[in-house]
Structure 1
Amino acid sequence: MTAPLPAREGIAPSYLWLPEGRWPDLLTFLVQRFPHLGEAVLRERMARGDLVDEAGRALYPEHPYRQGMRIWYYREVPTETPIPFEAVVLHRDARLLVVDKPHFLPMAPAGRFLQETLLIRLRRQLDLPELTPIHRLDRETAGVVLFCLDPASRGAYQSLFERREVSKQYEALARYREDLMLPLLHRSRMEEGKDFFTMEEVAGEPNSETLIELLARRGELAHYRLSPQTGRKHQLRLHLASLGIPILNDPFYPVVLADKGDDFSRPLQLLARSIAFRDPYTGGPRQFESSRTLDEPAWQTAGEVAVQNSSTLP
């Protein structure tokens, strides 16, 4: 599928299939579909030629509504708060880009984030318009993440994750439990929670698995190594919360906290420390490791922080 609009500032155009229904013109439909934008903004974008059909022809407000038609446009976010943290490139070759991601920086455009995302920053800074992520990290999580420079090679690397041929290790700071025997292989069935953005453990055949090991203990906190054997959404965060040791500063588990907005002072203490696999093209081993560390001041205030987001602790 070739887009009729070029990428702009690292951002590829989006598209929308016009659904079944009757509207007197295209603008009337768009106002109903995107009420948060408003008619004035939509008219201004159409006047700039930023909405086109599949042939790249500009669409105007009075254009007839045609069910099944696909329109292309540039997504825009008018007010984006700058995220004051930078990624570090660990490795680059003809196919792979390996990056050490900071906390708080989203992987790719979504919601209120567009330019302030790792993918768009890298496309702009490195002049790599076709760069795509091979896997993902949560916005709150820091550490090693892989991107593909060559779209034709992406599938081979993604297949490694699907076949569980990638070894990943994470580190986390969380409450210490005297009665928790470690190392522990925690297995559970995870499904989407009541909130669309969270997960929960339910009865049934396990579909997630994490090896949990203790690296160090200082007072009320412990430094854990986490080795996921599966790759479910929020798996590590949910597994530790379910064991009564939620990761420090987690805004979602065990309970969803109030949105802290643009407060960058309390990063989730979860780090994707390393990733290893056998390269599908060269056949040789590849291993990459983050140079970041978890928040050392957290050790200093263990008595205070260990009770944050701990409403379900025993």
Structure 2
Amino acid sequence: MSTPFDPARQQASTVCLPPGRWATVLDCLCDHFKAIAREQWLDRFARGRVLDANGQPVAADLPYRRGLRLHYFREVPNERPIPFQETLLHCDEHLVVADKPHFLPVTPSGEYVEQTLLRRLIRRLDNPHLVPLHRIDRHTAGLVLFSANPQSRTAYQQLFPQRRIEKRYQAIAAPLPQRSFPLVHRSRLEHGQPFFRMQEVPGVANSETLAEVLKRDAERWLYGLSPVTGKTHQLRVHMAALGAAICNDPFYPDLQPDVDDYQKPLQLLAHSLRFEDPLSGEAREFESRLTLAW
């Protein structure tokens, strides 16, 4: 049986209508989002999935007005289920900690809306106020922190830009016997081609990772990685640049076909988080229950 639509339990995207000469809101949205068919927009309007700034459904024939703020709910027809389950590690009034499996996105994007960690937790905890405090890649497994209370959210969000939280990852990659560990790798990361891949470029470094070796065998090493900064794909790019791309990485050093192989997950795990709670002052430490295929 399908679940009735409840806007309080789904996070909407927001758009401010740009300048133009459209007659109706519908005409503007169709022109602005060319990948979405007019029939699909009409269906969304009919089901109350396009709202005004006050959260009230609007009609498709509402006259266009520049700067009008609208909320709409992204949908992906026939969304592919992700056959892995998250684990809830901690839940209190202010903070939720979850163990994310490989392949599950943290937030809606692209072809994933309902099959995301955020949407799953909103339904599971019946809390529409959940907001991720940081992100990890869809291909990466491990710990993700969520704010559960808007009133305390800013205090927890500040942990990251102020670097008051210690993040440790584990990764499996080829040996690097020619390098001395622990080592610090710094570089300048910018978006490359395609747009979702990052690349190292000349210039002042904007990313930094501390790498150490936790285990060794003849063919693979288990690395401990501590990102000082939090750039997109930072650990994946840095390991590839060192000459030991993380096992099963579909993006680095070379882009692989866009097909998930559930038998070969990226061997990267957000393993532990440690910080001083900004509300209580107590030391907090969380550790993933997941393991890599060592």
Q: TM-score range by the shorter chain?
A: over 0.9
Greater mean alpha carbon deviation, residues 55-64 or residues 151-160 = 55-64
1:223-263 per-position Cα deviation (integer Å, ceiling 9, x unaligned): 11111111111111110000110001111111222211x43
Letter in structure 1 aligned against 2:45: M
TM-score where L is the length of structure 1: 0.87
What is aligned with 1:136? 135
Tell me the distance in 2 between the aligned counterparts of 1:178 and 1:172: 16
Tell me the distance in 1 between the aligned counterparts of 2:135 and 2:196: 15
Tell me the distance in 2 between the aligned counterparts of 1:78 and 1:268: 27
Letter in structure 2 aligned against 1:295: A
Residue 230 of structure 1 pairs with residue 229 of structure 2: yes
Given candidates 270, 275, 278, the residue that maps to 1:277 is 275
Matched ranges for 1:88-127 at <5 A: 88-127=87-126
What is aligned with 1:70? 69
What is aligned with 2:169? 170
Residue 22 of structure 1 pairs with residue 21 of structure 2: yes
The 1:176–1:37 alpha-carbon spacing in structure 2 relative to 1, beyond 3 Å, is: same
Given candidates 244, 262, 267, the residue that maps to 1:264 is 262
The 1:55–1:292 alpha-carbon spacing in structure 2 relative to 1, beyond 3 Å, is: closer
Tell me the distance in 2 between the aligned counterparts of 1:56 and 1:105: 29
Is 1:275–1:288's contact at 8 Å kept on the other side of the alignment? Answer: yes
The 1:207–1:49 alpha-carbon spacing in structure 2 relative to 1, beyond 3 Å, is: closer
What is aligned with 1:151? 150
Letter in structure 2 aligned against 1:94: E
Is 1:215–1:225's contact at 8 Å kept on the other side of the alignment? Answer: yes
1:201 alignment partner, SS class = strand
Tell me the distance in 2 between the aligned counterparts of 1:7 and 1:48: 11
Task: State the 1:7 CA deviation.
Answer: 5.2
Task: State the 1:280 CA deviation.
Answer: 0.8
Which segments of 5 or more consecutive residues in structure 2 lack a partner in the other structure?
A: none
Task: State the 1:56 CA deviation.
Answer: 4.8
Letter in structure 2 aligned against 1:64: P
Letter in structure 2 aligned against 1:25: T
1:60 alignment partner, SS class = coil
Tell me the distance in 2 between the aligned counterparts of 1:187 and 1:54: 44
Greater mean alpha carbon deviation, residues 24-33 or residues 122-131 = 24-33
Tell me the distance in 2 between the aligned counterparts of 1:232 and 1:200: 11
2:160 alignment partner, SS class = helix
Number of aligned residue pairs: 290
Is 1:7–1:129's contact at 8 Å kept on the other side of the alignment? Answer: no
What is aligned with 1:308? none
Letter in structure 2 aligned against 1:236: L
| Cα root mean square deviation, aligned | 1.8
Tell me the distance in 2 between the aligned counterparts of 1:33 and 1:72: 14
The 1:41–1:272 alpha-carbon spacing in structure 2 relative to 1, beyond 3 Å, is: same
What is aligned with 1:61? 60
Tell me the distance in 1 between the aligned counterparts of 2:234 and 2:89: 25
Residue 203 of structure 1 pairs with residue 193 of structure 2: no
Tell me the distance in 2 between the aligned counterparts of 1:284 and 1:135: 21
The 1:189–1:25 alpha-carbon spacing in structure 2 relative to 1, beyond 3 Å, is: same
Greater mean alpha carbon deviation, residues 240-249 or residues 143-152 = 143-152
Percent identity between the aligned chains? 49
Which segments of 5 or more consecutive residues in structure 1 lack a partner in the other structure?
A: 1-5, 297-314
TM-score where L is the length of structure 2: 0.93
Greater mean alpha carbon deviation, residues 154-163 or residues 10-19 = 10-19
The 1:14–1:172 alpha-carbon spacing in structure 2 relative to 1, beyond 3 Å, is: same
Greater mean alpha carbon deviation, residues 119-128 or residues 180-189 = 180-189
1:96-125 per-position Cα deviation (integer Å, ceiling 9, x unaligned): 111111111100111111100001100101
Letter in structure 1 aligned against 2:284: R
